[in-house]
Structures are given as structure tokens and as C-alpha cells.
């Protein structure tokens, strides 16, 4: 599978909440921002994210692939129920970007280095 197709299939898996398919994309020993989550921890993080943000949808805004790396700019329009990144959102609608790098080895994501635009969210809730 070419890398772009692989990545869009991964994003589709997240948007369908198809957690049982996550192992097709995430390696058993995957790391997320330096944390050795593994597949099970990664899955738990996503389930928690969707619990906090029921209308969470991943939209790919920019995608750059050069094996073994993928870089994506994801855009979110959502309404976290309580706190998000330590900010009291309490159901307000916010929009923000996540710029994220993935390392892919043997056909699965082994490392994720993600930065969420917290400053943009702070500016929105200060309005």
C-alpha cells in the first residue's frame, strides 16, 4: 500500500472509531510524544479523547510523505466536554490544528511526534 493510502485508511479508522482495526496501523511498540504507549495505550488514549470530545473528527489539511516519515497537518472543529489540554472548554466549539510526524516501520506507525496549537485554542476561549 502506498503511504498516502495507508495514512488515509488510518484516519478513516479513527473517524469510524474502529478501534479493533487500529493494530493494522499502529505497531505493538508504538511511542507517542516520547511515551512508550504501545498499541494498547494508544488505543486507550484515543478512546479517552473520543469520550471527552464526542464529535471529534480528524480532517487531513496537509500531507507530506517520504518513507519512512509521514507529516500531516490535521484540522479539528469540535466541542470538548470539559477540559482539553488543561483549558476549561466546557462544550464550547473550538477549531485548531495538530502538526504531527509519524515514523512508519514494517508497514506500521512506530513513533508519533505531535504538536497541538494550544495558543490558538487559548485565543478562541479568551474571546
* Residue 21 is a binding residue for its own copies (CB under 8 A): no
* Residue 5 is a binding residue for its own copies (CB under 8 A): no
Query: How many CB atoms sit inside 10 A of residue 112's CB?
Result: 19
* Residue 19 is a binding residue for its own copies (CB under 8 A): no
Which part of the chain contacts its own copies (CB under 8 A), choosing from 8-16, 17-25, 47-55, 95-103? 95-103
Residues linked to residue 72 through DSSP beta bridges, in sequence order = 63, 100
Q: Render 83-117 in DSSP notation, one character per residue.
A: EETTEE-TT--EEEEEEEEEEEETTEEEEEEEEE-
Q: Work out how close the CB of 4 gets to its own copies at its nearest, in angstroms, rounded to a whole number.
A: 9
d(CA 3, CA 107): 9
Q: Work out how close the CB of 1 gets to its own copies at its nearest, in angstroms, rounded to a whole number.
A: 17
Interface with its own copies by CB under 8 A: which residues? 62, 64-66, 69-71, 73, 85-86, 97-101, 113-119, 122
Amino acid at each position: 500500500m502506498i503511504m498516502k493510502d495507508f495514512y488515509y485508511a488510518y484516519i478513516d479508522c479513527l473517524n469510524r472509531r474502529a478501534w479493533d482495526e487500529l493494530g493494522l496501523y499502529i505497531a505493538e511498540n508504538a511511542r507517542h510524544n516520547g511515551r512508550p504507549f504501545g498499541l494498547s495505550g494508544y488505543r486507550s488514549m484515543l478512546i479517552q479523547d473520543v469520550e471527552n470530545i464526542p464529535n471529534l473528527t480528524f480532517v487531513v489539511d496537509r500531507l507530506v510523505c517520504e518513507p519512512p516519515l509521514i507529516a500531516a497537518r490535521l484540522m479539528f472543529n469540535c466541542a470538548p466536554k470539559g477540559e482539553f489540554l488543561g483549558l476549561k472548554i466546557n462544550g464550547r466549539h473550538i477549531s485548531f490544528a495538530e502538526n504531527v510526524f509519524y515514523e512508519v516501520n514494517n508497514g506500521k506507525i512506530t513513533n508519533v511526534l505531535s504538536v497541538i496549537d494550544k495558543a490558538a485554542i487559548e485565543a478562541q476561549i479568551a474571546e
